[in-house]
Amino acid sequence: ELPALKNGIIEMKSSSIPIRQRFQTIREEKKTNLCLCADLTSLDEIIELSKQVGPNICMLKIHCDILNDFSMEKIQQLKNISRTFNFLLLEDRKFADIGNTVQLQYTKGLFQIATWADLVTVHVLPGEGIVQALEQSVQSIDEPRGCLLIAQMSSKGALTNNEDYVKGVIKCTEKYSDYVIGFISQSRLTTDNKFIHCTPGIHLNNTGDQLGQQYVTPRQAIDGRGADILIVGRAITDSINRIKTCEEYQQEGYNVYEQLRNI
């Protein structure tokens, strides 16, 4: 299972650079802090889209369990595209179970997520053992793996918006700081800049959807909420011209970031 994947990827230059460092390099080289969230049900369509917007994004986020045409061959293709265009691949799995179960969910089954996802998302609800278990599962994989802990959610009434909960997530992030590279968050949670803050719930035209999602603009997310990375989904995928819209979010996100850096 793993060796075939390893061989295809290992010679490529970005494969051995630690993930934290890659974000830094990508942001400066490609001038983007945009993560496209491709919540599409066809992996073929995601593959095509990723070739078109590859130069504009620092990360591509997918939900593999909504795909109706998932295969290891296709995911390997997507992985190769991510290496060609130099962006990270995030599987938004939102693990939330006991250690033994998440190890199986991460490495086995139809998806074998650990073999291809640079990053995964994780809820710390079950306790820090979940992170320990996930980290342990990828020790034998020859390229960097990491995770983002879900500290705060963008949805209305989220139970994560509780100070003690967030404190627990921060503590866990600090304890497992090799594997945990940052947060999914709605505010700046630590002054330690090594932890990357990724913020979903971004839209330039809408304030929410019909199912509890809440949006802020790229500027509000970066300036007001301390986002390093903008996670943008339907604002781009539902637009008439996805490529052009993607460029707009890239430019807006990077402009705000540069303005703040120069203050």
Residues annotated in a binding site for substrate: 39, 61, 154, 213, 233-234
d(CA 227, CA 217): 11
* Minimum CB distance to ligand 6AU smaller for 150 or for 256: 150
Q: Indicate if 51 belongs to the active site.
A: no
Q: Is the dihedral of CA 138, 141, 142, 146 positive or negative?
A: negative
Shortest reach from residue 121's CB to ligand 6AU, in Å? 5
Footprint of ligand 6AU (CB under 6 A): 37, 39, 92, 121, 150, 153-155, 184, 200-201, 213, 231-235
Q: Pick the catalytic residue: 79, 92, 118, 228?
A: 92
Nearest to 233 by CA among 210, 211, 262, 213: 213
Give the residue from 202, 102, 92 showing the smallest Cα distance to 149. 92
Using alpha carbons only, what angle is made at residue 159 by residues 155 and 161, rounded to the nearest 5 degrees?
Answer: 80
Q: Which residue's Cβ lies closest to ligand 6AU?
A: 233
Q: Helix H segments across the chain?
A: 2-10, 19-30, 43-53, 72-84, 99-107, 129-137, 163-175, 218-219, 234-237, 242-261
DSSP 55: G
Q: Given the complex with ligand 6AU, which of 17 and 64 has the nearer CB atom?
A: 64
Give 31 or 197: the residue with its C-beta nearer to ligand 6AU. 197
Q: Can you give the C-alpha Rg of the chain in angstroms?
A: 17
Rank residues 81 and 153 by Cβ distance to ligand 6AU and give the closer one.
Answer: 153
Please state, in angstroms and rounded to a whole number, the distance separating the CA atoms of residues 256 and 221: 10
Helices 129-137, 99-107: inter-axial angle, 10-degree rounding? 30
State the minimum distance, in angstroms, from the CB of residue 153 to ligand 6AU: 3
On whether the CB atoms of residues 150 and 61 are closer than 8 A, the answer is no
Q: Considering the complex, what minimum distance in angstroms separates the CB of residue 232 from ligand 6AU?
A: 6
Confirm if 203 and 238 have CB atoms less than 8 A apart: no
Q: Which of 206, 229, 89 is nearest to 147 (CA)?
A: 89
Task: List binding-site positions.
Answer: 39, 61, 154, 213, 233-234
Q: Cβ 200 to ligand 6AU, closest distance in Å? A: 3
Taking the least distance from each CB to ligand 6AU, the nearer of 5 and 82 is 82
Candidates 51, 74, 97, 142; catalytic one: 97
The answer to whether 142 is a known catalytic residue is: no
Q: Is 97 a catalytic residue?
A: yes
Q: How far is the CB of 238 from ligand 6AU (least distance, A)?
A: 8
Which of these is catalytic: 44, 94, 171, 238? 94
Catalytic residue set = 92, 94, 97
